[in-house]
Structure 1
């Protein structure tokens, strides 16, 4: 079941639609309208900090190619949860990354 979760971004509160958490460790908060929302366990920025090591590892490994690409594009899905923060989304039990490498053949040396 979907719920609204309250995340803090740069001192401002935003609402994100999330799945109902499996654990009961998440606090609930009331909006001025009286609607109850989940209170995220960490800020939006802290949740996204979990993405950095993965992105850095991918880029670092791709820079180690014998002929490094001129452009690198990496796409992956991220899901926000009120209790865990950011997690990589999966389809069919597997996490997928889409990586595009581009080389500029018109380089002059």
Structure 2
């Protein structure tokens, strides 16, 4: 079970890294880059009763905040 949970966590983290890179690339293209960039992830993994994490459904929320101090 632990190996399956670790595999699921690793796949979530790969997705988080991919989204983070994509957000950073888009921000780099802005004419005026923000002073602060905050990317918040809310990841929820839920498994059916008696099932292991491999039979889990996944949902995620993403919040991006840009701040200019000028």
TM-score (norm 2): 0.62
The CA RMSD over aligned residues, in Å, is 2.7
Asked which structure has the greater RCO (Cα within 8 Å, sep 6+), the reply is 2
Structure 1 residue runs of 4 or more that deviate by more than 2 Å after TM superposition: none
CA contact (8 A) 2:8 2:54 kept: no
Mapped to 2, the partners of 1:59 and 1:88 lie a distance apart of 22
Could you say which structure has the higher helix fraction?
Answer: 2
Could you say which structure has the higher strand fraction?
Answer: 1
Which has the larger Rg? Answer: 1
| Structure 1, gaps ≥5 residues long | 1-5, 9-38, 90-95
Alignment of 1:15-94 (within 5 A): 39-40=4-5, 42=7, 44=9, 46-47=10-11, 48-80=13-45, 82-83=53-54, 87-89=58-60
Offset of residue 41 of structure 1? 6.6
Count of aligned pairs = 62
TM-score (norm 1): 0.44
